[in-house]
Amino acid sequence: MWRAPILGLLKHYTKIPNKSPVFDPDWKENGHMDDAVRLLTDSIRSFDIVGLRYDVLEVDGRTPLIFIEVEPYKSGTGNVLLYGHFDKQPEFTGWHEDKGPWTPVLEDGRLYGRGTGDDGYAMFSCLSALAGLQEQGCAHPRCTIVIEGCEESGSPDLPFYMQVLSPRIGTPDVVICLDAECGNYDQLWLTTSLRGMVSGTLRVEVLTEGVHSGAAGGIVPSSFRVLRDVLERIESGNDGTLVDSLHVSIPEWVSEQSNEVADVLGDTIVERYPWASTKRYDQTDLAQMVTSNTWFPCFEVVGLGGAPEPQFAGNTLRPNTDAKLVFRLPPAANHEKVQSFVKRELERDPPNGTRITFNCDVGESGWYSQPVQTWLDEALNEASDLYFGRPYKRMGTGGTIPFMKMLEDQFPACQFVVTGVMGPHSNAHGPNEFLDLATAEKVTCCVAHVLHQMGEGNQFN
């Protein structure tokens, strides 16, 4: 049921380069976002769901948001909010010769292309779960579905829309988010924490124009060297350790959970990445690796500017070096405090003759969940056993979903089911991203099972 009709729609969706606004400032003029909205809303009509209505909200130049309401079926109880997004990361390089970001390729049960699993499948998964329940005459609760268009930019438009939609959403008992990772493709995974994020551009200027490197060397400092020195204020170049101000106290349950994840996943914790060398990371404590990936801060230079490609470089001392920086923050860290600290540290005491600026473009705090209620724990286990043949597992995730912290602040008593399909080698944000179709189908069935258990009133037992 899930694969045949939706696969064609996902292929069309993959072809649309609807990059998130941070990566395509001219998104409105380019029209790709509107193309994606048309494809997705047209596809809603292909689902036979009683009591469904939808709107597309686009206000004051904000990215569009698809909002779907489905009335309870068979007197189903409860109120559920389901979430996904349809904007995409940029192309990136390194795609296999027969693949590309906007070229859907089906191979060995996996659909390759940008946005397939992050997060193009989400709306189809939500609607398939509801359509399947109604087809079988099974009760489900009232459901609202939010599919936003700027998650990859930090969801700047979402708070506005959530305020507008608040009367229509009401107070959800459960939130189901379909934008997270899975530790493997063998069972359902529940995400228990997400890191926050701060990103911005660091610019080091030493001159107004480039000059002869021989004539200026020894007098004018290298902007690249100054940039390296400044980054040492935040991160040790020797081992990547970040300053204490970016760390938080880690809850006791994290260690236990990391050990469980290490026991289940083993060496795939390391082997899931496309290492350039056969020599692997020196760290052998897999559980500590999991904790480092989910509750430690980390930092990466994801882009560099101010320098030509090596084959076009002359013997010129460049006037400036720019670096796009991304900080992943512990789930309990306050992104505003981190943002102020990072800016202050990077810009303070510039070496003579240099100008240093750090301009932040995205800042989001992380999130971590409270333990799920007994009925939901049982429903998740039943679903995973039924469709995967194994019990579900819990893990933290190193990425960021701004929506989760926003919802927790708004609905502190709500239960969260944060799950997804991006497992080993699926490479969200990178080259050769893929959606494992069998996993997407099983996750969809698990969502349907939870919705049915709630519709039957089991949350009140």
Cβ neighbors of 88 (< 8 A, separation 6 or more) are: 17, 18, 19, 20, 114, 115, 118, 152
Instruction: Go through 350-388 and write b for each residue having 16 or more CB atoms within 10 A of its CB, e for each that does not.
Output: beeebebebebebbbbbbbbeebeebbeebbebbbeebb
Closest CA to 139 of 195, 240, 236, 71: 71
Given a contact cutoff of 8 angstroms between Cβ atoms, the answer to whether 70 and 145 are in contact is yes
CA distance 34 to 18: 8
How high does pLDDT run on average in the chain? 95
Over 60: is that where the pLDDT of 28 sits?
A: yes
Position 168 scores a pLDDT of 97
CA distance 221 to 224: 9
Over 60: is that where the pLDDT of 1 sits?
A: no
Secondary structure class of 64 (helix, strand, coil) = coil
What average pLDDT score do residues 102-126 get?
A: 97
Q: What is the pLDDT of residues 33-86, one digit of tens each?
A: 999 999 999 999 999 999 999 999 999 899 999 999 999 999 999 999 999 999
Task: Give how far Cα 450 sits from Cα of 82, 335, 387, 414, Å.
Answer: 12, 33, 12, 15
What average pLDDT score do residues 211-233 get?
A: 95
Least confident stretch, 90-99, 123-132, 401-410: 401-410
Given a contact cutoff of 8 angstroms between Cβ atoms, the answer to whether 206 and 221 are in contact is yes
For each of the domains in the chain, give its residue range(s) and CATH number, in order of start. 3-194+367-460 (3.40.630.10), 196-267+285-364 (3.30.70.360)
Task: Give how far Cα 111 sits from Cα of 115, 146, 211, Å.
Answer: 10, 24, 49
What average pLDDT score do residues 330-350 get?
A: 96
CA distance 407 to 292: 25
Q: What is the radius of gyration, based on Cα positions, of the chain?
A: 23
Over 80: is that where the pLDDT of 120 sits?
A: yes
Residue 167 CB burial class (10 angstroms; 0-12, 13-18, ≥19): exposed
Q: What is the pLDDT of residues 412-427, one digit of tens each?
A: 999 999 999 999 999 9
Over 70: is that where the pLDDT of 281 sits?
A: no
Beta strands 174-181 and 79-85: pairing type?
Answer: parallel
Report phi then psi at 369, rounded to 5.
-95, 160
Tokens of 350: 């510039």
Position 324 scores a pLDDT of 97
pTM for the structure as a whole: 0.90
- Sign of the Cα torsion 444, 191, 405, 303 reads negative
